[in-house]
């Protein structure tokens, strides 16, 4: 997938694991235990540095999507 002239590492629909440790989304603060949340890439949101919107397989206190940097994502 080519976005803004650079190759995206992850593609929409791809299954991934996301390290959410220390990230706050709204009122939810993810602790160290949430270091391998399973989800799917929705889309790349920022090119530099690369960020992706990820739809989580499970909702955490109502949070089912997170935007994270590429370094927090690994292929599942």
Q: What does the pLDDT look like over 16-73, one tens digit per residue?
A: 999 999 999 988 999 888 889 999 999 999 999 999 999 999 998 899 999 999 999 9
Report the first-to-last Cα separation within the chain, whole angstroms.
18
pLDDT of residue 23: 93
pLDDT at residue 5 above 50? no
DSSP state of 36: S
Q: Residue 38 in contact with residue 56, Cβ under 8 Å? A: yes
Return the pLDDT at 38.
Answer: 96
Please state the pTM of the whole predicted model. Answer: 0.85
pLDDT class of 4 with cuts at 50, 70, 90:
very low
């Amino acid at each position: 997938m080519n976005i803004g002239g650079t190759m995206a590492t992850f593609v929409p629909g791809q299954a991934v694991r996301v390290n959410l440790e220390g990230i706050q989304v709204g009122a939810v603060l993810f602790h160290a235990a949430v270091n391998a949340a399973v989800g799917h890439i929705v889309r790349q949101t920022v090119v530099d540095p690369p960020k992706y919107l990820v739809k989580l397989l499970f909702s955490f206190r109502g949070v089912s999507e997170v935007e994270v940097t590429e370094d927090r994502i690994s292929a599942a």
